[in-house]
Amino acid sequence: MPAGPRSPSAPAPLLCIGHRGASARAPENTLASFEAAIGDGADGLEFDVRLTRDGVPIVLHDATVDRTTSGRGIVAALDLARIRRLDAGSWFAPRFRGERVPTLAETLDLARGRCGVNIELKSETGDAARLARAVAGVIAGARFRGWMVISSFSRPALFAARAAMPRAALGWLASRSARGLRAGHVALGLWSFHPHLRLATRRRLRLARDLRLRVLVWPVNDWRAARRLAAAGVDGLMTDDPAGLRAGIESAS
């Protein structure tokens, strides 16, 4: 693995991470959303990466382009050139008309030296190894400066990421259960655990601490939950509204 991914060093006591950018006020997973999150003081960006038919890592959450663009179709069946012609902003608000689906390379270029990144690998079609190799190639050429975590719900994707990026900081995503976390840590050498808010219980947080894993919780859009999690010692919060969450926490202090 060429030099690039390194174990992150947290830039703040509690990381505030823009979930798909500042997705409460700009179209998710677009450069506009990422710029908004950085402008709001986010310590990092969380975003999803998939492969186009021609093997380019792009930033899009769903397996299809239907929900967040003007087009229709499965991402894995569409070439980059076709996806780039789609409008990825006007579904959210007219003023975002013309926003495009960004590539991973463009997103890393935007964030470089400004904040960290949490890259979630989306692999549902048996393309885990191909996706991990493509992402590794982009990262190697990005000269990225800042902390970086590669995360996924997909266990094959995490194993593929470890093979393609031996020094990467890996994050174990969970939405329903933390089952397998200990064994996964032994096998993969994880850096972090990323539970859904409903999974962030004392027992699971204690397990993560016992394993010496950082904990990044998602999605956290309520300052009361944020304060509770901060008191419990989590390392980061992924939020749709970085500015709003910070303001809520500060006003309650």
Q: How far apart are CA 187 and CA 246, in angstroms?
A: 36
Select which of 19, 185, 194, 196 is catalytic.
Answer: 19
Select which of 61, 185, 194, 196 is catalytic.
Answer: 61
DSSP codes joined into one string, 98-136: T--PPBHHHHHHHHTTT-EEEEEE---SS-HHHHHHHHH
User: Residue 161, Cβ neighbours under 10 Å: how many?
Assistant: 29
Annotated active-site residue 196? The verdict is: no
Annotated active-site residue 61? The verdict is: yes
Please provide the distance, in angstroms rounded to a whole number, between the alpha carbons at the two ends of the chain. 44
Q: How far apart are CA 121 and CA 152, in angstroms?
A: 5
Structure tokens at 182: 């200990």
Please list the active-site residues.
19, 61
